[in-house]
Amino acid sequence: MRRRVPPPWLAVMLLTALVLYTDDYVIAGILPDIAADLDVSEPAAGQLVTAFSLTVALSAPPAAVLLAGVRRSRLFTVALGAFAAVNVAAACAPDLAVLLVLRVLAALCTGAVTPAVFSWTAAQAPPEKVGRYVAVVAMGVTGAIALGVPVGVAVAHAAGWRANFLVLAAAAVVCLLAVRATMSSDPRGEPAASPLAQLRAVAARPVATALLGNLVAISGSMMALTYLAPYLAAAHPGQDLRAVAFAASGAAGVAGVLLGGALADRLGPRCTLLLGVGVLAGGLVGAGLLAAAPPAPAAALVAVVAAQALGAFTLSPALTAWYFTVGGDGAESAVALNTSGTYLGVAVAGALGGWVLATGGPGVVPLAATACALAALAAFAAAGWRTSP
């Protein structure tokens, strides 16, 4: 039997996710360039990241509800077109204040499109391949970190930081044209489902507890990743392991996304969620144990860091598959809330992890992250209690 070739629109959704997430993450790579050119401090320029992330987190859920009846082709066309225009304007921003406003506008476009990208992919995928199709699109998230940010830094070095926004604008136009060319089905979504019906669906335990699980799991995994450098310095003094550890984390993240999609289709999303967060917790426990008696073996440190990323990135495709399994009228809203939870989890990780680092030291950070992972494990277990996987 011939293997079925994935449809062209799947690659387009992957590219769209890559462009949207790169627009957020690339700021971290070009932050010093922006600060120097606009004559502001790096912490002040860092508010560009905060503003973008918070805007996506706050705008994605209401956008999913309010735009549920809009044809997908129209939604992608308007949002990606506006996204491209805003990025062109960002390339010409005269100061930080104007750039900050433009970043908020770009984030509003991202908040409108991101849930639709994942929900449309899940809706169009063959029932037995939902997890794997979503995993392909989720590769845009890891690709933004592993590919988008380094390319953005190279562009900044070659042509200045403003050129990044022009490149992203051009990429958004390409996505827009590709969406129009490959979208063979153009549904209106679920206009019959009222906002109240969607709210009831996401408030039901199978969805609400999974959303909570995602929030605390992201908080734990990103806490460990955000403060990985001081942890490595304390656990293995005298040797800089950052480059190899971050490379291993990125590679394991890519593997985790693909594995999560395959397992969600084969074992079911609930079992995949439990396995993924279990691996995450195991990696964090291992990191805590290794930090207790420095210097820890370099290979063991890299291994536990990779395990954390493998487990954390397994969750994304499994969660999307879960919401479309149990979410009913609120499936797309659940995906949007999951996006919000991811961004909020990153914010919590930075704040809570910073406090843990300041009060307990780098060796305590993985222990605090472990507590988050165990809370996520309990939430995912509760989400599937007496429900069909």
Please write the tens of the pLDDT for every residue from 170-221: 999 999 999 988 876 655 544 546 667 767 777 788 888 999 999 999 999 9
Lowest mean pLDDT among 153-162, 276-285, 364-373: 153-162
Task: Examine the pLDDT at 293 and tell me if it is beyond 90.
Answer: no
- CA dihedral in degrees (66, 72, 75, 79; nearest 10)? 120
Question: Is pLDDT larger for residue 308 or for residue 358?
Answer: 308
**What is the pLDDT at residue 176?**
94
Task: Examine the pLDDT at 78 and tell me if it is beyond 70.
Answer: yes
Q: Specify the 3-state DSSP secondary structure of 295.
A: coil
Helix axis angle for 242-266 and 130-143, nearest 10°, is 160
Lowest mean pLDDT among 237-241, 263-267, 277-281: 237-241
- CA dihedral in degrees (211, 212, 216, 222; nearest 10)? 20
Task: Examine the pLDDT at 307 and tell me if it is beyond 50.
Answer: yes
Contact between 334 and 323 under an 8 Å Cβ cutoff? The reply is yes
**What is the pLDDT at residue 24?**
80
- Spatial distance between the Cα atoms of 185 and 330, rounded to a whole number of angstroms: 21
DSSP string of 325-382?
HH-GGGHHHHHHHHHHHHHHHHHHHHHHHHHHHHHH-GGGHHHHHHHHHHHHHHHHHH
Contact between 265 and 129 under an 8 Å Cβ cutoff? The reply is yes
Q: Specify the 3-state DSSP secondary structure of 211.
A: helix
Q: Which pLDDT band holds residue 101 (cuts at 50, 70, 90)?
A: very high
Across 175-191, b (16+ Cβ under 10 Å) vs e yields bbebbeeebeeeeebbe
CA nearest neighbour of 389 among 266, 214, 213: 266
Q: Using one digit for the tens of pLDDT, what is the confidence trace for 44-57?
A: 887 787 788 888 88
CA nearest neighbour of 372 among 217, 214, 228: 217
With vertex at residue 69, the alpha carbon angle to CA 64 and CA 75, rounded to the nearest 5 degrees, is 70
- Spatial distance between the Cα atoms of 244 and 222, rounded to a whole number of angstroms: 18
Mean pLDDT of 366-385: 91
Burial class of residue 302, CB neighbours in 10 A (0-12, 13-18, 19+): buried
Q: Which pLDDT band holds residue 273 (cuts at 50, 70, 90)?
A: very high
- Spatial distance between the Cα atoms of 84 and 165, rounded to a whole number of angstroms: 9
Task: Examine the pLDDT at 388 and tell me if it is beyond 50.
Answer: no
Question: Is pLDDT larger for residue 30 or for residue 386?
Answer: 30
Domains of the chain in sequence order: 8-182 (1.20.1250.20), 195-383 (1.20.1250.20)
Task: Examine the pLDDT at 369 and tell me if it is beyond 90.
Answer: yes
Mean pLDDT of 250-277: 90
Mean pLDDT of 283-297: 91
Cβ-based neighbours of 184, under 8 Å, separated by 6 or more: 7, 9
Lowest mean pLDDT among 186-195, 288-297, 332-341: 186-195
Mean pLDDT of 235-264: 84
Which amino acid is residue 327, in one-letter code?
G
Contact between 84 and 26 under an 8 Å Cβ cutoff? The reply is no
Task: Examine the pLDDT at 89 and tell me if it is beyond 50.
Answer: yes
Which amino acid is residue 217, in one-letter code?
A
Mean pLDDT of 298-325: 90
**R_g over Cα of the chain:** 20
Please report where in the chains the tokens 């070009």 appear, as a residue: 30
H helices of 267-330, in order, are 269-291, 298-326
**What is the pLDDT at residue 1?**
42
Please report where in the chains the tokens 């609930």 appear, as a residue: 270
Task: Examine the pLDDT at 377 and tell me if it is beyond 80.
Answer: yes
**What is the pLDDT at residue 224?**
87
Mean pLDDT of the chain: 85
**What is the pLDDT at residue 146?**
67
**What is the pLDDT at residue 3?**
55
**What is the pLDDT at residue 132?**
83
